[in-house]
Amino acid sequence: MTDISAQTEALGGLLTRDRIVRWAPVLVLVALVLLFPFFEFLADLVEGKEHVYLLDSRFFSIRNGARIGIAATPALMVAVGATFIIIMGSIDLSMEGTISVCAVLFAFAFLGWGGTLASWAWLAIPLALVVGALLGFVNGMIHVRLKIPSFMASLAMGFVGTGLALLLTGGDRLRVEDELFRSLLTVRWLNFPIMCYVALAFLLLAWFIQSHTALGRNFYAVGGGEQLAQSSGLNVARVRIMGFTLAGIFFAVGALLAVGRIGIAETATGNNFMFVSITAVVVGGTALWGGIGGVWNTLVGVLIVNVINNGMVVIGLPPYVQDGVLGTLVILAVALSTNRKSVTFVK
Amino acid sequence: MYALNKVDKHFPGVHALKAVDFQVGRGEIVGLVGENGAGKSTLMKIIYGAYQPDGGSITIDGTTMRFQNPRQAMNHGIGMVFQEQSLITNLTVMENIFLGYEQQFVKFGIVDWRAMAKAARHQLTKVKLDVDPAAVTSQLSFAQRQLVELAKVLTLEERIDGDLVILLDEPTSVLAKEEVELLFQLVRDLAKRASFIFVSHRIDEVLELSDRIYVMKDGAVVDVVTRDEADVDDIQHKMVGREIDKEYYREQKQAPYAADAPLIRFDNVSVDNRYRDISFDLHRGEVLCLVGTEGSGREAILRTIFGLETPTSGAVTIKGEQVTRFTAMAGVARGVGYVPRERKVEGIVNGMNVFENMTLSQLNKYSDLGVLRVGDEKEMAKDWVDRLAIKTPDIRKDCGGLSGGNQQKVVLAKWRSGGSDIILLDHPTRGLDIGAKEDVYEMVREMNDAGVGIVLVADTLEEAIGLSHTIIVIKDGEFQKRFDGTPGAKPSLYDLVHHMI
């Protein structure tokens, strides 16, 4: 397994192609973090203002770090869910629909059962997770039992989810204004809101699943060699279905954090998560054909995507440039990690 | 006309061709026979340009040639009719015939289908095949497809100046008897237009068709005979004749097996289109070898034991219980371990390290409620790395980076550590160097001593004879003969070959 954290070899070794590819995401992240303050520095230099590099930067500040953290946490949860699927060599595109359904059902239940975490309404949280798991399970069943390619099965399920959410809300926005729930955003420890710590906890959980459970090991086995996994006696179908179910749960966590961040649940809650999360997974260095990568890669990927988004706002680039930059980044990331000598045909 | 002069070819650890001389005259039909692994296919690949020789030269009419790829060879009149048919089945017959050479029918970017059909019909008459050129290839029978393939190669006649050499690789293996007759008749007629190289493991067919026959063994041509002086027995002896080294196969360590309660009992088992009415017993401490040519059904029998194929009739009993569920999962649970031929595809997971590969089939033994005990895994892996002398710097090393022999040991450790006592070995020494082979033979004996029963599909006949307690010869999916392999009473290569082909 090659997750970034598990590097036991000394760094003093040769700069092999493998090693460069493996560490490229981290290098890119560091470079970006240093690059944006440099632009600020240049801008102030032109205007003749006094500016000490990094120290006077608006981008390179704790306040902005927290801003990036807040923006990144829901996407991180979604991307972590997608990571498991991509490690298996499949893909899950159902996140937008799943998030909308989870967010909307959560809001209905939460508001209906008391409207504050201090009442029975807290049950809406496990409910949302169960709904996410259920959607993921159905997704996996469709993919495995009907033998529909995962991208098609999940894309279709995503549309079903979006439609369902719209049907439930009738296009309305549900406001979740409970102070206790919103403390996810409003209460800060060490400058970072609670939601960042919640996300960190789930990231650690995901890492534990990835590296310390049979299920996690099986994801890598299926992605690295499905035929072999089967002839080692693995129930590959079951592993796949459990993978999609697990991803569904992480999508639901992402939905809860997204609602906590803006205090609104609606059909549009799920918008944009597909592109951002898949981009993050791929940019982080998890291979699209499976078997390589992990949740730490995804953390780096999510940070890269959000640093770019945030940094471009700070230096004043228009938002439509951002998508173009991200798209280019995906192509670069995949091109870098593909060994074209061993791949003859691509479908 | 066409000649190979002292052609040499090396692969890592293998000297595949040793100074091979080979000539084809104009209008001649040349036969090429040899065991699996004798170097036939390497030689063919050099002829049609897929490999380049390391030494020696290729000459056509005295001019030295060097082909970088099959297309260059084709442009000099060398065509190949593949054993695994190379037609694209969802395209039409004419599209297949002119695949890659459609340009001649294109005007202003548009394909003139009528002209292509006409040209295709012309090619098809050469092979006396009357099918619609616009028919989709998948609708044709195997025999018809073979002829289309031949027609495709014969387009060279119009395209190039000079003589044609056409390779036929096991062209009869999928044909019925009367179809074979038709093909032979056709080849004899076509010999006016082209020379043929006919490769087959059916010696009688090679004798019937060829003017001259090259016999290969261990990468060298051991004899060239003309049809008139050829003799089936004589050729068979030359194909295999070699003394077996008893030390090499650890024959002195071959102990009798336990003849009571069999591990596996096959009772008239059949799988449609693979094999029919196969019966045998496998006992503890026994090596049972299935011998036959490629496609004779031996691999399918292994796959049935493991649970990857479901019998259409007959009963499989494993350890006294009749098997009803044929899945790999159930097979593993019954204690069957499968060491497949394609290590890279089915043996080890690339990207997973040594201990992860070893525990892959037994994760529930190393986990509580799904949480892995990585410490235990590593301990077990270290133990087996020592026991099998697996050369790896670290049990955290990616298995894909180990040598073939060590990968094979990891696969064996996976099954042995999981307590499997029926091990299926499919070409366990393929692609290994001599030292690694001996390691595998040593492990076979050790497993026998530990009461493990082994079903083997060997890489060579010598290996089959040297290792086995029992040999079962299979031909075209049918049982031929059972040989006893007790040291001192082992059958000779010739005995086996005689029943195989």
Q: Which residues of A touch B350 (CB under 8 A)?
A: 224-225, 291
Least confident of A128-132, A340-344, B62-66, B353-357: A340-344
Q: Which residue of A has its CA nearest to B353?
A: A1
Token pair, residue A14, equals 């040769």
Residue B37 pLDDT: 67
Q: Which residue of A has its CA nearest to B364?
A: A214
Residue B314 pLDDT: 92
Does residue B192 carry a pLDDT above 90? Answer: no
Residue A165 pLDDT: 95
Q: Which of B88, B325, B329 to mutate to test the interface with A (most CBs of A within 10 A)?
A: B329
Does residue B248 carry a pLDDT above 80? Answer: no
Q: Which residue of A has its CA nearest to B363?
A: A214
Q: Which of B309, B344, B352 to mutate to test the interface with A (most CBs of A within 10 A)?
A: B352
B415 in contact with chain A, both atoms CB, cutoff 8 A: no
Q: Which residues of A touch B349 (CB under 8 A)?
A: 220-221, 224-225, 228-229, 291
Containing H/E element for B269? strand B264-271
pTM of the model: 0.78
Q: How confident is the model at residue A3 (pLDDT cuts 50, 70, 90)?
A: very low
Q: Parallel, antiparallel, or unpaired: how do β-strands B194-199 and B29-34 relate?
A: parallel
Instruction: Tell me the domain boundaries of chain A.
Output: 74-271
Query: Rounded distance, CA B373 to CA A166, Å?
Result: 46
Q: Which of B305, B342, B363, B395 to mutate to test the interface with A (most CBs of A within 10 A)?
A: B363
Please, are residues A224 and B350 in contact by the beta-carbon 8 Å criterion? yes
Burial of B446 from C-beta contacts in 10 A (0-12 / 13-18 / 19+): middle
Least confident of A216-225, B98-107, B236-245, B396-405: B236-245
**Helices and strands in chain A, H and E counts:** 13, 4
Q: How confident is the model at residue B36 (pLDDT cuts 50, 70, 90)?
A: low
Q: Which residue of A has its CA nearest to B374?
A: A212
> Chain A closest CA to B350's CA: distance in Å?
6
Please, are residues A143 and A153 in contact by the beta-carbon 8 Å criterion? yes
Q: Which residues of A touch B396 (CB under 8 A)?
A: 8
Residue A260 DSSP SS3: helix
Q: What is the C-alpha radius of gyration for chain A, rounded to an integer number of angstroms?
A: 21
B337 in contact with chain A, both atoms CB, cutoff 8 A: no
CA dihedral A181, A185, A188, A194 (to 10 degrees): 70
Q: Domains (ranges, CATH) in chain B? A: 2-240 (3.40.50.300), 245-335+456-501 (3.40.50.300)
Residue A4 pLDDT: 40
What are the φ/ψ torsions at residue A110 (nearest 5 degrees)? Answer: -60, -45
Residue B42 pLDDT: 86
Q: Is B344 left (phi over 0), alpha (psi -120 to 50) or beta?
A: alpha
Q: What is the DSSP string of B134-194?
A: TSBGGGS-HHHHHHHHHHHHHTHHHHSSS-EEEEEESTTTT--HHHHHHHHHHHHHHTTTE
Does residue B477 carry a pLDDT above 80? Answer: yes
Q: Is B472 left (phi over 0), alpha (psi -120 to 50) or beta?
A: beta
Q: What is the C-alpha radius of gyration for chain B, rounded to an integer number of angstroms?
A: 25
B378 in contact with chain A, both atoms CB, cutoff 8 A: no
| B146/A6: higher pLDDT | B146
What are the φ/ψ torsions at residue A300 (nearest 5 degrees)? Answer: -60, -45
Q: Which residue of B has its CA nearest to A214?
A: B370
Please, are residues B355 and B380 in contact by the beta-carbon 8 Å criterion? yes
> Chain A closest CA to B308's CA: distance in Å?
8
Q: Which residue of A has its CA nearest to B330?
A: A233
Alpha helices in B210-308, H assignment, sequence order: 232-240, 298-306
Q: Which residues of A touch B348 (CB under 8 A)?
A: 225, 228
Least confident of A263-272, A296-305, B337-346: B337-346
Containing H/E element for A126? helix A124-145
Query: Rounded distance, CA A92 to CA B131, Å?
Result: 46
- The one-letter amino acid code at B272 reads D
Q: Do A214 and B363 count as a contact with CB atoms less than 8 A apart?
A: yes
Q: Give the closest residue to A330 by CA, choosing from A25, A95, A81.
A: A25
**In the predicted model, what is the mean pLDDT of chain A?**
88
Q: What is the DSSP string of A80-102?
A: HHHHHHHHTT-----HHHHHHHH
CA dihedral A216, A218, A220, A223 (to 10 degrees): -130
DSSP, res A48: T
Query: Rounded distance, CA A173 to CA A104, Å?
Result: 9
Residue B241 pLDDT: 60
Does residue B468 carry a pLDDT above 60? Answer: yes
Please, are residues A255 and A106 in contact by the beta-carbon 8 Å criterion? yes
Of A218, A225, A230, the CB nearest to B350: A225
Q: How confident is the model at residue A73 (pLDDT cuts 50, 70, 90)?
A: very high
Q: Do B351 and A234 count as a contact with CB atoms less than 8 A apart?
A: no
Does residue B121 carry a pLDDT above 70? Answer: yes
- The one-letter amino acid code at B440 reads V
B352 in contact with chain A, both atoms CB, cutoff 8 A: yes
Q: Do A227 and B346 count as a contact with CB atoms less than 8 A apart?
A: yes
Q: Do B367 and A214 count as a contact with CB atoms less than 8 A apart?
A: yes
- Sheet of B220-226, strand order: B78-81, B164-169, B194-199, B29-34, B212-217, B220-226
Q: What is the DSSP string of B370-434?
A: TEE-HHHHHHHHHHHHHHTT---S-TTSBGGGS-HHHHHHHHHHHHHHTT--EEEEESTTTT--H
Residues 6+ away with beta carbon under 8 Å from B316: B264, B265, B266, B267, B269, B304, B305, B322, B323
Token pair, residue A293, equals 């990568």
Of B332, B346, B371, the CB nearest to A233: B332
Token pair, residue A243, equals 């993978």
Q: Which residue of B has its CA nearest to A3?
A: B351
**What percent of chain B has pLDDT above 90?**
27
Q: Which residues of A touch B361 (CB under 8 A)?
A: 232-234
Residue A241 DSSP SS3: helix
Q: Do B351 and A2 count as a contact with CB atoms less than 8 A apart?
A: yes
Of B329, B347, B372, the CB nearest to A228: B347
pLDDT tens digits along A269-298 = 999 999 999 999 998 988 888 888 899 999
pLDDT tens digits along A13-41 = 566 767 777 788 898 899 989 988 888 88
pLDDT tens digits along B62-102 = 889 888 888 888 888 898 888 666 788 899 999 999 888 88
Residues 6+ away with beta carbon under 8 Å from B274: B297, B300, B309, B477
Task: Please report, in angstroms and rounded to a whole number, the separation of the first and last CA atoms in chain A.
Answer: 26
| A340/B195: higher pLDDT | B195
Give the count of Cβ contacts less than 8 A between chain A and B.
81
CA distances from A289 to A144, A224, A305, B197 (A): 18, 8, 21, 42
Q: Which residues of B touch A9 (CB under 8 A)?
A: none
Cα torsion angle, B331, B333, B339, B341, sign: positive
pLDDT tens digits along B195-219 = 999 988 777 888 888 999 999 888 8
Residue A9 pLDDT: 42
Does residue B233 carry a pLDDT above 90? Answer: no
Residue B160 pLDDT: 82
Token pair, residue A325, equals 């930059």
> ipTM score here?
0.78
Residue A10 pLDDT: 41
DSSP, res B66: -
**In the predicted model, what is the mean pLDDT of chain B?**
86
**What percent of chain A has pLDDT above 90?**
59
Please, are residues B282 and B423 in contact by the beta-carbon 8 Å criterion? no
Q: Which residues of B touch A89 (CB under 8 A)?
A: none
Query: What residues 303-332 of chain B have any CB closer than 8 A to a CB of chain A?
Result: 306, 308, 328-329, 331-332
| B294/B386: higher pLDDT | B386
Q: Which residues of B touch A231 (CB under 8 A)?
A: 306, 308, 328, 338, 340, 346
Burial of B432 from C-beta contacts in 10 A (0-12 / 13-18 / 19+): buried
> Chain B closest CA to A250's CA: distance in Å?
19
pLDDT tens digits along A40-68 = 888 888 888 888 888 888 888 999 999 99
Residue A2 pLDDT: 40
CA distances from B139 to A69, B88, B133, B145 (A): 61, 12, 12, 9
Q: Which residues of A touch B339 (CB under 8 A)?
A: none
Q: How confident is the model at residue B153 (pLDDT cuts 50, 70, 90)?
A: confident
Q: How confident is the model at residue A152 (pLDDT cuts 50, 70, 90)?
A: very high
Does residue B347 carry a pLDDT above 80? Answer: no
pLDDT tens digits along B223-232 = 898 888 888 7
Half-sphere exposure of B299 (CA within 13 A, CB side): 13
CA distances from B8 to B14, B22, B64, B219 (A): 11, 12, 15, 9
DSSP, res B363: G
Q: How confident is the model at residue A8 (pLDDT cuts 50, 70, 90)?
A: very low
Does residue A204 carry a pLDDT above 80? Answer: yes
Residue A189 DSSP SS3: strand
CA B404 to chain centre: 18
Query: A114 has which bridge partners?
Result: none
Cα torsion angle, B31, B432, B477, B83, sign: negative
Query: Rounded distance, CA A153 to CA A150, Å?
Result: 5
Does residue B114 carry a pLDDT above 60? Answer: yes
Residue A342 pLDDT: 58
